[in-house]
Amino acid sequence: VLGGIGVWRLMPARTRAAHPVIRFALPASASVAPRGIGVGRHVLAISQDGTRLVYWADNKLYLRTLDRLDDAAPIRGTEDGREPFFSPDGQWIGFHQQGQLKRVSVAGGAPVSLVATLNPWGVNWDGDGVIRYGRGSDGIWQASPNGGAPTRSIEVGQGELAHGPQLLPDGKWI
């Protein structure tokens, strides 16, 4: 047993495989958040697995798959869309458009309306399947990715603002 422990301790430590570095350019013109419209808002999102990027430019959302060299493609039906976010599995893109939270498949198709809401301040589709979003002085709200009425889950105090709520890893705290 002592010999086995000695050999185990002398073995080189295993190192994790490094993730490849991916570099590319996004348009850095006035088309990204034109006239400051996106100030204080999210203008891009990266899927949890790190394979896709969605961003807002030219008044619509664009999707880029990071393992391909071709340019980003505009997402049909997302004109005037803001605050992009991904589903936990990366198969859906959520966004705010004309007073509603919506979702659209990364494979394409028509956007689906989820809930009516004012412009959110940061949106997250958490691993528990709930979409949470800040509404400034109106607190933190949540909605189902399948639709239905949104509910306020957390009120904020006088002079406080809610932005970009996230479910913490323990699943108990936001």
What string of H, E and C letters represents the secondary structure of 38-68?
CCCCCCEEECCCCCEEEEEECCEEEEEECCC
Q: Which residues, listed in sequence order, are joined to residue 46 by a DSSP beta bridge? A: 53
Residue listed under structure tokens 């990266």: 46
Q: What is the pLDDT of residues 82-134, one digit of tens each?
A: 899 999 999 999 999 999 999 999 998 999 999 999 889 899 998 888 999 99
The DSSP code sequence of 57-119 is ETTEEEEEETTS-SPPEEPTT-TT-EEEEE-TTSSEEEEEETTEEEEEETT----EEEEE-SP
Binned at pLDDT 50, 70 and 90, residue 34 comes out as: low
Q: Is residue 56 a contact partner of residue 81, using CB atoms and an 8 Å limit?
A: yes
How high is the pLDDT of residue 33? 55
How high is the pLDDT of residue 16? 62
Structure token digits, residue 157:
């105090």
How high is the pLDDT of residue 44? 86
Q: Residue 48 — left, alpha, or beta (φ > 0 → left; ψ -120 to 50 → alpha)?
A: alpha
pTM metric for this prediction: 0.79
More confident residue, 7 or 115: 115
